[in-house]
Amino acid sequence: MKRFTFLLAAVLVPLCAMAKNDDNSGWHFPVGLTYASGAKDVTDAVLGDLTASTSTQIPVGLSFSPYRQFSNGLGVGVDVGPFVLVHVEVTRMGSYSGSSTSTSSGVLMPVGLYGRYDFVRDGDVSPYVRGGIRKLFVGGDDVFQEGSAGLYGNVGVEFSHKRAVRFGFEAGFDTTTVKILGFNSRDSYHQTKVTEVKPYSFTFSIYASF
């Protein structure tokens, strides 16, 4: 992963340095909503083998991807998000004390560095590709053990490309994984089952860029 980071920087930095500014060059700030295909896999992994429980996940999260664009179509930027929230409620029936309920909640937040290339610099509609590396950060009530670093890539189309406010959509893939501490039916009072899933294996985004 470190070698890929250095390679990405070694290729992009000289090319961007040679580019001159034009009307479309400069900083752009895409903000949008991203669907994460693996959100349900996350809650399923938290539940583990249990059946008498409920779960909630929010598979659409806010994403922010500012980047610096240059006249040769290249750009470099950072990614924050999309955030994925999960909540699991487990209800157990005891022999003497009746039912008891426990809850687990967590959040996923990827942060990445990417390179970008726009194919049509002077048109109102421009297809583009972007990709790089990112790290998956986790938080919550002991739901997630750790997130990994991985590669990701996106293809998209941007409209109103020559205007101050642009609109677009994109689809992508992500190789980052998260280790989840889930419930095992043999020990339903403690989270003992570790599962690794890809919460962002496929993503789809709509956004506005300022």
Residue 3: its pLDDT value, please? 56
Residues of the chain with pLDDT under 50: 4, 11, 15-16, 19
Residue 175: its pLDDT value, please? 94
Residue 148: its pLDDT value, please? 93
Residue 24: its pLDDT value, please? 59
Distance CA 174, CA 201 (A): 5
For the segment 138-163, what is each residue's pLDDT rounded down to a tens digit?
987 777 888 999 999 999 999 987 78
Residue 73: its pLDDT value, please? 85
Residue 94: its pLDDT value, please? 55
Going along the chain from its start, the domains and CATH numbers come out as 2-209 (2.40.160.20)
Residue 28: its pLDDT value, please? 92
Residue 140: its pLDDT value, please? 78
Residue 117: its pLDDT value, please? 94
Distance CA 69, CA 76 (A): 7
Residue 42: its pLDDT value, please? 87
Residue 167: its pLDDT value, please? 94
Residue 206: its pLDDT value, please? 96
For the segment 178-208, what is each residue's pLDDT rounded down to a tens digit?
998 887 877 767 778 888 999 999 999 999 9
Residue 185: its pLDDT value, please? 75
